[in-house]
Amino acid sequence: MTEHYHYSEKLEPVQVDLNAQTPEQFTKNYAQTTLNTYELTDEQAQEIYNAGVGTGNAYDGNWVPARVAHINGEVVIRLKLRDTTAYTVLPFTR
């Protein structure tokens, strides 16, 4: 099994209701964990997305499989990327 991914920076939780997104929230990235929601920069969102869904190409031999991602020790359940209302559900169990 692949080791879990732990995001290295400490992030502060934000208070948002992602089920009733505002126009401002539509333009931002969010990670929802088991306890909190965090606003992410594009770079942070990309890093956590790559860890949660995997990266690379199996044909080129550089595939890195999906891993359980953590922010501040909390398991990331889903990502909401900017300019969309859709969620990407990440693996949260082994």
CA nearest to 55, candidates 43, 63, 46? 63
pTM (2 decimals)?
Answer: 0.88
pLDDT digits (tens, 9 = 90+) for 11-41: 999 999 888 888 999 999 999 999 999 999 9
Please name the residue ranges forming H helices in 7-93. Answer: 23-26, 42-53
Average pLDDT of 44-50?
95
Residue 57 is predicted with a pLDDT of 87
Average pLDDT of 38-47?
97
Residue 21 is predicted with a pLDDT of 82
Report CA-CA distances (Å) from 17 to 14, 38, 56, 63, 91.
10, 12, 33, 35, 22
pLDDT digits (tens, 9 = 90+) for 53-74: 988 888 888 888 889 999 999 9
Q: Is the pLDDT of residue 82 over 80?
A: yes
User: If you ran DSSP here, which 8-state letter would residue 14 be given?
Assistant: B
